Amino acid sequence: MLSAQAARVRTGKVADLYKENCASCHGDQMQGASAPSMLDDIWLNGGDDDSLARSIRNGFPDRGMPAWGALIPDKEIRAMVIYMREMRARNDSGQLTFAAPKDSVTASSALHSYQVNTWLDGVNEPWSMAFLPDGGALVTEKRGRLLRFGADRKVVGPIEGLPEIDNDSQAGLFEVLLHPRYAENGWVYLAFSDLTRNKDDQKVSITRVIRGRLKGQQFVDQQTIFAAKLEHYRKAGGVHFGGRLAFDRAGYLFFTIGDRSAMAEAQDITRPNGKVHRVHDDGRIPADNPFVGEPKAVESIWSYGHRNPQGLAFHPETGQLFDLEHGPRGGDELNLVERARNYGWPVISYGMNYDGSTLTTLTAKEGMEQPVVYWVPSLGVCGMNFYSGNEFPRWQNNLFIASLAAQELRRLEVVGGKVVYQEIIFKNLGRIRHVITGPDGALYVLLPSRIARVSAAPDKVASGHGATPPTKG
């Protein structure tokens, strides 16, 4: 069984290409007709991406399959292979149904039974959340509000004094994160799309990181941790801001900036977009950052070739850094992020453009890193968190990932930098922006207008939700 990514196949150029050239023999839904089905995972000539592309390119003219290489460019053959994978997943998903879990009703999964309950209501597109030592919490809303809640979950109020935030399209207020020694120093970190004007008086924005302290309703003592040069800002609004923050054990702050849809700039170390960055907790550049001293380099860059990394987390035991990237259609990725490495965007990708046209024929290249895992069809991944709490002993160090389009909370077992098992815990509660572990060991899941708490329920015989084997990659 593949995963239940029901009905997530869009139409587009590649679908037309299929209809016009292939459907007459392979069936309008790829179910098979005079030529074999492409949904059953039975491949006579190899089922990996390269073999499928070869079958399409060279055909088997003596057995009735034309050679398409002369008619269809390689790029579109690549898109066709992705489309075949999507159709297969859609076909499989018809066999699995996921009822959305109801509040206070016990549901089961492979290792634990659980309950989902509304923990906090009345929030609007929450993006990130941080628990405070007093039992309260800070919640960012994408539209630009930073909310503070007391231990009683009553809102203390929107925090005042934040800088001007672009909240058009995918821009907004992103991560809120406490300093690892918050109890001593009170620092609260924020990532957001900074709104300003360029020399031509046009509104421009890009991801910025600041810190400050809470004083009643005010955000005071503000300091800039990272700001791009004005010439690196791009037209306000638009897409791909990244905006996730994470501290490592040594106290370095890592943060992400998406490519801002300037794809090629992800490969350019003189630009801050399409990168994972690393700074000291006060924003200073660590002397051992990989591009320090290179001409015009943005010296906070740690790794490059990223599209839109909206998830960032350290493995609690190994200390390895992972990022979760919202990819193009069919190209969502989990990466093991290492110093100075190039993650390939947009030169290599497992995805195609959203309209079904091709992006690149290359999925691998010398000098570029492969993802730990990728998803075709895309899930629309966003935030993630390694579980480390007492509530769910068998989920220790498992990676929980949030997805927007697929509306799934997934559990991944990550061993030695590889994903060995994947499970959908639940889906269909709405787009999930982030998931974190609370101090009580429960998982907190950020949904469109509420925060749900996933807590342990007495175990019963597992039923219902299917497990999914690891995606290849």
What amino acid positions are annotated as catalytic residues? 240
Give the residue with the Cβ less far from ligand HEC, 54 or 280: 54
**44 belongs to the binding site for ligand HEC (CB under 6 A):** yes
Q: Minimum distance from CB of 94 to ligand HEC (Å)?
A: 22
Tell me how far CA of residue 215 lies from CA of 218, 221, 472, in angstroms: 5, 9, 49
Q: Minimum distance from CB of 60 to ligand HEC (Å)?
A: 4
Q: Which of 249, 400, 417, 262 is nearest to 338 (CA)?
A: 417
CA distance 313 to 241: 17
How many degrees, rounded to 5, is the angle at CA 329 between CA 345 and CA 407?
115
Q: Which of 195, 86, 186 is nearest to 138 (CA)?
A: 186
Q: Minimum distance from CB of 59 to ligand HEC (Å)?
A: 7
Which stretch, 20-28, 131-139, 268-276, 359-367, contacts ligand HEC (CB under 6 A)?
20-28
Give the residue with the Cβ less far from ligand HEC, 2 or 80: 80
- Ramachandran quadrant class, 41 (left: phi over 0; alpha: psi -120 to 50; beta: rest): left
**41 belongs to the binding site for ligand HEC (CB under 6 A):** no
Considering only 41, 43, 160, 216, the residue that binds ligand HEC (CB under 6 A) is 43
CA distance 136 to 440: 12
Give the residue with the Cβ less far from ligand HEC, 52 or 159: 52
Q: Minimum distance from CB of 363 to ligand HEC (Å)?
A: 17
**354 belongs to the binding site for ligand HEC (CB under 6 A):** no
Give the residue with the Cβ less far from ligand HEC, 43 or 354: 43
Considering only 10, 12, 13, 25, the residue that binds ligand HEC (CB under 6 A) is 25
Pair 242, 309: CB distance under 8 Å? yes
Site for ligand HEC in 62-101 (CB under 6 A): 63-66, 68, 80
**52 belongs to the binding site for ligand HEC (CB under 6 A):** yes
CA distance 397 to 413: 8
CA distance 458 to 338: 40
Structure token pair of residue 409: 């909370």
Interface contacts to ligand HEC, rule CB under 6 A? 21-22, 24-26, 35-36, 43-45, 52, 55-56, 60, 63-66, 68, 80
